């Protein structure tokens, strides 16, 4: 909420204007209240656009589109009028956070909420399509969560079902990552385009991350048209329901009624919005809305007071709100009202850093913070989880620091390592000698422990944790076990004998969706069904050595003397690329349409579609661990500490700078990256570095 400024109206028709809710490319949105106390969001066309016939037509079409929809899933239009030559639309004021703001500040929704959300949105899209319209801009910031359920807003680019795209050359047809491939290509966009957007919305709600995220608009749009959505973090039960919505071919996407039936929301789903953390935020919004509705009517000047009361004026009151005095500005959810659909997109997350725009090639930039001395003296692994950087100390403790300033947030004692993070249940998992621990991501509190015996951790996909149980007879290869984890505990789903026979000491794994892929160097690879552990497909040992599997989308990449791509669902072979070095070749990171590979002392960039090499850079010594991609940079750490950490430009492999080169240190630096930062840990010190 912002205070009224110079030129803002004090009244629009029957509505007394209380403050500014938002401003976009076409209009400004005010909070209004009529004489009965009813609140409205009043959207007014900007003065400089009011005389443009095409813009005015689009503006008024928004109101007509919303009025045509019969259903409670949209914000009702209360009035369409003109004031001072400027048209305005008054719509129902919705008290509640947007889906975008709720997820950004509180993390992914639990599965029952996602199912209820998806069913309601599918029903609302059915109502919109029944009115002969296509919304064409469904996205998290256009969905408001209220105590009566989710509501869809902003019909700014809605069109009749038979209508063509509104865009002209150089314009973006919809929000990047949510517009369907046919919409991006300027083709006719029918109801199936909204179902694609629904799939992308549900991925964001269920995982806390976009289905398509490649750094900048053009790359995201390219990924939507030619790439694969990022669905690895989806719980398997949701993935099989959501993935069809993201089909490239509109004809293959399900209908709203099919989505509602498949999601099968829990009984009493309508009550979900009145309980739990979501209800708390909705309640805050409703309470603030009540306060606004009872605010005094005095039309006073800035700095004055209501006669005889000493009460501040409306303008001064909202200036105070903007300064952070109330939940409107400071609560973090920031979604008491709906905004215009034309606003500049915010950062992906509020804790993300700004990228470097001014840097000198060959000279390492100053750290964002650090080096921060830590109580850790030995080796660590780094795990970036939302607004935290977690030191997995290879001891019984986990230590979390803020990504923004390096301040200590919490220390979880006696929970073991390594640490894995499940975004679907917002839970960290750590393994001690014979116990598995569930740790609260926000606080480090130990929530539960489960006995698991002597195990080797394999993988985590969504809320399913896989491990290799070697606590039995040493003469047998042991078992692979699947556990479903929640915030209250774990439950064993299945256990199966390791499929490679005895004497397996090089077992590696990768998991996503409904597949677990296991490799054992000279014994090939096997993919298991996540639901029951049954073998689905395999790669023969005769095909050569296989190691370090890596899953991205519906492809699993198997490292070895040749890097090979297979379809994850059924094992259909794709391309193969020879390593050309004795060290073999393996995938270290995937970003958009490119793979970043490690081959001994080489860092290589290859194209995902055919495995062809785009560029390669050679280090003096082998690379330690996986490369880290953040922003437009890719970073590697040498296995020899004195060679340091090197940063390269992602697009062409151009060397940018080297950190810590020539310093005497114990071993190499460990690195991790996210949110436009790269973190380096060396000699017990943690440093946050900027990216371009």
Q: Say if residue 152 is in the same domain as residue 250.
A: yes
As a whole number of angstroms, the distance between CA 265 and CA 288 comes to 30
Q: Would the annotation count 43 as a binding residue?
A: yes
| Closest by CA position to 7, among listed 36, 28, 32 | 28
Does residue 316 belong to any structural domain of this protein? Answer: no
The CATH number of residue 119's host domain is 1.10.510.10
Positive or negative CA dihedral for 418, 240, 629, 621? Answer: positive
For 464, the domain range is 452-618
What total number of domains does the chain contain? 3
Beta carbons within 8 Å of 249's beta carbon, 6+ residues apart: none
Q: Are 614 and 605 in contact (CB under 8 A)?
A: yes
Preceding amide of 418 cis, omega within 30: yes
Q: Indicate the Cα dihedral angle 344, 350, 351, 353, nearest 10°.
A: 10
Angle formed by the axes of helices 256-263 and 191-207, to 10°? 30
Q: Are 458 and 467 in contact (CB under 8 A)?
A: yes
Bridge partners for 16 per DSSP: 11, 33
> Can you give the pLDDT at residue 294?
57
| Closest by CA position to 223, among listed 573, 590, 535, 507 | 590
Q: Say if residue 251 is in the same domain as residue 138.
A: yes
> Can you give the pLDDT at residue 506?
81
Q: Are 391 and 398 in contact (CB under 8 A)?
A: yes
- Among 238, 269, 300, identify where a domain stops: 269
> Can you give the pLDDT at residue 630?
92
Q: 40-74: b or e for each residue (b if 16 or more CB lie within 10 Å)?
A: bbbbbbbeebbeeeebbebbebbbebbbbbeeebb
State residue 292 phi and psi, 5-degree precision. -65, -40
**Residue 138: other Cβ atoms inside 10 A:** 26
Q: Say if residue 613 is in the same domain as residue 466.
A: yes
- Among 589, 618, 647, identify where a domain stops: 618
As a whole number of angstroms, the distance between CA 306 and CA 287 comes to 24
Q: Is 597 exposed, middle or buried (0-12, 13-18, 19+ CB in 10 A)?
A: buried
Q: Say if residue 487 is in the same domain as residue 376.
A: no
pLDDT tens for 346-364 read 445 778 898 888 888 889 9
Q: Are 349 and 208 in contact (CB under 8 A)?
A: no
Strand order across the 515-520 sheet: 507-512, 515-520, 525-529, 535-539
> Can you give the pLDDT at residue 225?
92
Flag residues of the chain having pLDDT under 50: 162-172, 296-347, 662-666
Q: Say if residue 491 is in the same domain as residue 590.
A: yes
- Among 597, 618, 639, identify where a domain stops: 618
Q: How far is CA 466 from the centre of its chain?
A: 23
Preceding amide of 371 cis, omega within 30: yes
State residue 435 phi and psi, 5-degree precision. -130, 145
**Residue 160: other Cβ atoms inside 10 A:** 13
Q: Say if residue 148 is in the same domain as residue 216.
A: yes
Does residue 691 belong to any structural domain of this protein? Answer: yes
Q: Say if residue 230 is in the same domain as residue 124.
A: yes
Q: Say if residue 554 is in the same domain as residue 604.
A: yes
> Can you give the pLDDT at residue 335?
36
As a whole number of angstroms, the distance between CA 183 and CA 191 comes to 11
Q: Say if residue 144 is in the same domain as residue 260.
A: yes
Task: Give CA angle at 258 (252, 259), nearest 5°.
Answer: 90
Q: Are 605 and 595 in contact (CB under 8 A)?
A: yes
């Amino acid at each position: 909420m912002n205070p009224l400024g110079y030129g803002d109206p004090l009244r629009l028709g029957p509505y007394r204007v209380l403050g500014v809710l938002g401003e976009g490319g076409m209009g400004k949105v005010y909070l209004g209240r009529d004489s009965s106390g009813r609140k409205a969001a009043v959207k007014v066309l900007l003065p400089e656009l009011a005389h443009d016939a095409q813009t005015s037509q689009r503006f008024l079409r928004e109101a007509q589109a919303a009025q045509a929809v019969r259903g409670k899933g949209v914000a009702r239009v209360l009035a369409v009028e003109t004031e001072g030559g400027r048209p305005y639309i008054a719509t129902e004021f919705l008290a509640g956070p947007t889906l975008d703001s709720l997820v950004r500040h509180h993390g992914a929704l639990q599965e029952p909420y996602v199912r209820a959300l998806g069913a309601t949105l599918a029903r609302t899209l059915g109502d919109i399509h029944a009115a002969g319209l296509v919304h064409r801009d469904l996205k998290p910031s256009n969905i408001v969560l209220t105590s009566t359920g989710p509501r869809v807003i902003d019909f700014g680019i809605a069109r009749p079902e038979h209508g063509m795209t509104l865009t002209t050359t150089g314009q973006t047809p919809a929000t990047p990552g949510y517009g369907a491939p046919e919409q991006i290509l300027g083709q006719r966009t029918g109801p199936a385009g909204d179902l694609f957007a629904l799939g992308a919305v549900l991925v964001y709600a269920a995982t806390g991350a976009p289905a398509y995220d490649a750094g900048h608009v053009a790359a995201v749009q390219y990924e939507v048209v030619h790439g694969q959505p990022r669905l690895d973090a989806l719980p398997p039960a949701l993935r099989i329901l959501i993935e069809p919505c993201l089909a490239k071919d509109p004809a293959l996407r399900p209908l709203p009624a099919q989505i509602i039936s498949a999601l099968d929301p829990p009984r009493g789903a309508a009550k979900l919005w009145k309980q739990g953390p979501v209800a708390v935020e909705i309640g805050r919004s409703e309470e603030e809305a009540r306060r606004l509705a009872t605010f005094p009517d005095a039309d006073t000047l800035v700095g004055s007071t209501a006669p005889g009361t000493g009460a501040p004026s409306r303008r001064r009151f909202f200036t105070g709100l903007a300064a952070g005095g109330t939940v409107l500005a400071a609560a973090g959810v920031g979604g008491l009202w709906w905004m215009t659909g034309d606003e500049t997109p915010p950062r992906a997350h509020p804790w993300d850093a700004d990228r470097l725009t001014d840097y000198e090639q060959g000279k390492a930039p100053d750290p964002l913070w650090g080096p921060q001395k830590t109580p850790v003296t030995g080796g660590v692994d780094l795990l970036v989880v939302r607004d935290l950087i977690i030191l997995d100390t290879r001891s019984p403790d986990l230590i979390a620091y803020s990504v923004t300033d390096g301040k200590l947030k919490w220390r979880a004692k006696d929970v073991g390592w390594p640490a894995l993070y499940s975004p679907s249940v917002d839970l960290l998992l750590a393994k001690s000698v014979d116990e598995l621990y569930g740790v609260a991501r926000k606080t480090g509190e130990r929530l539960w422990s489960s006995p698991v015996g002597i195990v080797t951790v394999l993988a985590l996909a969504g809320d399913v944790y896989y491990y290799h149980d070697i606590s039995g007879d040493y003469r047998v290869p042991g078992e692979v076990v699947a556990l479903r984890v929640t915030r209250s505990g774990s439950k064993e789903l299945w256990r199966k004998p390791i499929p490679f026979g005895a004497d397996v000491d090089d077992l590696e794994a990768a998991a996503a969706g409904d597949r677990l892929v296991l490799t054992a160097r000279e014994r090939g690879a096997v993919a298991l069904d996540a639901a029951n552990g049954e073998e689905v497909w395999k790669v023969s040992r005769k095909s050569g050595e296989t190691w370090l599997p890596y899953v991205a989308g519906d492809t699993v990449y198997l490292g070895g003397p040749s890097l090979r791509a297979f379809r994850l669902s059924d094992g259909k072979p794709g391309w193969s690329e020879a390593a050309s070095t004795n060290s073999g070749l393996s995938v270290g990171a995937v970003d958009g349409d490119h793979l970043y590979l490690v081959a001994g002392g080489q860092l290589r960039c290859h194209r995902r579609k055919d495995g062809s090499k785009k560029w390669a850079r050679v280090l003096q010594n082998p690379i330690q661990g996986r490369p880290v991609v953040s922003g437009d940079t890719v970073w590697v750490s040498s296995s020899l500490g004195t060679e340091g950490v090197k940063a390269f430009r992602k697009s062409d492999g151009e060397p940018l700078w080297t950190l810590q080169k020539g310093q005497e240190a114990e071993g190499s630096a460990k690195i991790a990256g996210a949110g436009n930062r790269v973190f380096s840990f060396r000699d017990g010190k943690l440093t946050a570095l900027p990216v371009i």
